[in-house]
Amino acid sequence: MNHVRCLKSLVLLLAVASVSAAQQPQPKVPDGTKVHRNLEYVSAGHERQKLDLYVPAKADAPLPIIVWIHGGAWMAGNKDGGVSALPFVGKGYAVASINYRLSQHAAYPAQIEDCKAAIRWLRANAISYNLNSERIGDWGASAGGHLVALLGTSGGVADLEGKGGNADQTSRVQAVVDFFGPTDFLQMDSHALPGARLKHDPANSPESRLIGGAIQDNVEKVGRANPIKYVTKDLPPFLIVHGEQDPLVPCHQSELLYEALKRTRSDVTFYKIAGAGHGSPEFNTGMMQAAVQAFFDQHLKPRSDGSAKTTP
């Protein structure tokens, strides 16, 4: 009986990972895009420490950058699938889609260390690829949403930088788009929808596998993975989007982040989508794409006076 239960749990976990990894269909790469694949952002590092960079073949000035971070429960997914930011290459942005070490490769904080290393690499190599190192935004969904939120709140946290190189560069970002990312793992089960099949407290849950032990038994480790822990008054603007009927990551997770940011008077916008689930079609509409573009345009592109609204 125990073997059957374990098998069912494994099947459910793999199913969740597959759903999260394929949250959005892969958009078409815009015509006139130059693609640089499998760039090592950590020299001679792990096979996962690579990114793909999409840039317009012609650009009159250094390009603002949108960094896409994939989902997949921190144990699946890759930089090649569901890159929602790809259409933005045709709108005057460079797009970087990154891989990071998964939970089966290394426990947290390896994942955020990799994301930060990728940001630093992009800055260190900005001139080579015609990038604007002062205008970097990040966007992710589910586990990727968790990581982009962490990038946004922990820009000055030396303890999470890791040893991925380019230490002379900052890992701070200037804008964050978080689609249904987890925040406080310890509250996920207590705020789950009635009948939710995925349980987050057990030792084999995605969150427990990420930190290397059952989350309720490892409160300090869980705290280090919570973007809210690092919220200060000096943060980039956030756009948070979550479905009210999300059966995997309770909407309450984004509500917690939103309230924490508001308490510090941070620039934050929160859209709750009635009836939407986890990565459901509501997140891939033209209206949602327009909202994300307006957000990035406001914070990463020059204004009419030649400046842009940026953060340190």
Domain of residue 45, residue span: 2-300
Output the CA torsion 178→311→231→180 (10° steps): 0
Q: What is the 3-state secondary structure (H, E, C) of the chain?
A: CHHHHHHHHHHHHHHHHHHHHCCCCCCCCCCCEEEEEEEECCCCCCCCCEEEEEEECCCCCCEEEEEEECCCCCCCCCCCCCCCCHHHHHHCCEEEEECCCCCCCCCCCHHHHHHHHHHHHHHHCCCCCCEEEEEEEEEEECHHHHHHHHHHHCCCCHHHCCCCCCCCCCCCCCEEEEECCCCCHHHCHHHCCCCCCCCCCCCCCHHHHHHCCCHHHCHHHHHHCCHHHHCCCCCCCEEEEEECCCCCCCCHHHHHHHHHHHHCCCCEEEEEECCCCCCCHHHHCHHHHHHHHHHHHHHHCCCCCCCCCCCC
Report if residue 312 sits inside a domain.
Answer: no
- Residue 75 sits in a domain of what CATH number? 3.40.50.1820
Report if residue 132 sits inside a domain.
Answer: yes
Report if residue 305 sits inside a domain.
Answer: no
Report if residue 311 sits inside a domain.
Answer: no
Q: Give the closest residue to 176 by CA, choosing from 270, 64, 296.
A: 296
Number of domains forming the structure of the chain: 1
Q: Is the model's pLDDT at 37 over the cut of 60?
A: yes
Report if residue 262 sits inside a domain.
Answer: yes
Q: pLDDT tens-digit profile of 159-203?
A: 999 999 999 999 999 999 999 999 999 999 999 999 999 999 999
Q: pLDDT tens-digit profile of 230-247?
A: 999 999 999 999 999 999
pLDDT above 70 coverage of the chain, percent: 89
Mean pLDDT, the chain, integer: 91
Report if residue 42 sits inside a domain.
Answer: yes
Q: 């943060």: which residue's tokens?
A: 235
Tokens of 276: 């939407």
Report if residue 310 sits inside a domain.
Answer: no
What is this structure's pTM? 0.92
Q: Is the model's pLDDT at 12 over the cut of 90?
A: no
Q: pLDDT tens-digit profile of 75-107?
A: 999 999 889 999 999 999 999 999 999 999 999
